[in-house]
Amino acid sequence: MNIIKFETIDSTNKYCKENNENLPSFSFVISKFQSEGKGRNNRVWTANSGENLLFSLIIKENNLLENFSFLSIGAACIVAEYLESLGVMNVEVKWPNDVYIDGKKVCGILLEGNVEKYIVIGIGINVNQKEFLGEYRVEPTSVCIELNRDISIDDFSINLFEKIERTLRDSNLKQKFIGYVNSHNYLYGKYVNVRGNIGKVTGISNNGYLLVDDIEIVSGEVTIL
């Protein structure tokens, strides 16, 4: 495991993409603050300085690059399972890759890269932030709010990084993730609209895609109706 730490950076995802040729697989790039944190669908990811875990991981193993859709949902499962191991209750995964606690968002994940060569998994977890000012599409929460105590970000991050590397190197990855999502699926039973496909979420397919009325939806923003 290779860990690179910054006090401040524009975006850890951007750093990994720009330096992809020089970074070994399973490099973790972490920063206390991001001036241009990127969210999904061209949104921004804002987080108070020093209070949260903001990092990106670069992956180059072929067997993982071939399973892009699994990496996306898989990263969310790893974070969710990790939060449960710390005693957080009511943790769920929202396809394709958010982690919710009691219906509030605690973690967002952004995958980028060039699947021929590398994938960057960017993860933002609200850890010690207690106040969220401004507009959010989904109400945010943090680990600290849920556990009612401050968390050591150093311990939290190193244990999570080890769990991520251990899990992603495990060959039973797919079945493990499908099982986990199907028992922690925030969208299960909800009526949704995904790019005009309207219906009830019936699960996650064996390919890691969302099932809306048992039809696989490969990608798209999910709106709950």
Phi, psi dihedral angles at 150 (to 5 degrees): -75, 150
Any bridge partners for residue 8, and if so which?
Answer: 33
Could you tell me the smallest distance in angstroms from the CB atom of residue 169 to ligand BTN?
22
* 154: three-class secondary structure by DSSP: helix
For residue 38, state whether it binds ligand BTN (rule: CB under 6 A).
yes
Q: Give the CB-nearest residue to ligand BTN.
A: 108
How many residues would you count in the chain? 225
Among 4, 6, 39, 165, binds ligand BTN (CB under 6 A): 39
Applying CB under 6 A, the site for ligand BTN has a residue count of 20
DSSP structural state of residue 97: T
Helix and strand numbers (H, E) in the chain are: 6, 12
Could you tell me the smallest distance in angstroms from the CB atom of residue 156 to ligand BTN?
15
Any bridge partners for residue 108, and if so which?
Answer: 124
Distance between CA atoms of 5 and 127, rounded to whole angstroms? 17
* 182: three-class secondary structure by DSSP: helix
Closer CB to ligand BTN, 125 or 178, in the complex: 125
Among 54, 77, 211, 222, binds ligand BTN (CB under 6 A): 54
For residue 195, state whether it binds ligand BTN (rule: CB under 6 A).
no
Closer CB to ligand BTN, 13 or 128, in the complex: 13
Contact 64, 168 (CB under 8 A): yes
Among 27, 56, 126, 185, binds ligand BTN (CB under 6 A): 56
Residues binding ligand BTN (CB under 6 A): 11-13, 34, 37-40, 43, 45, 54-56, 98, 108-110, 122-124
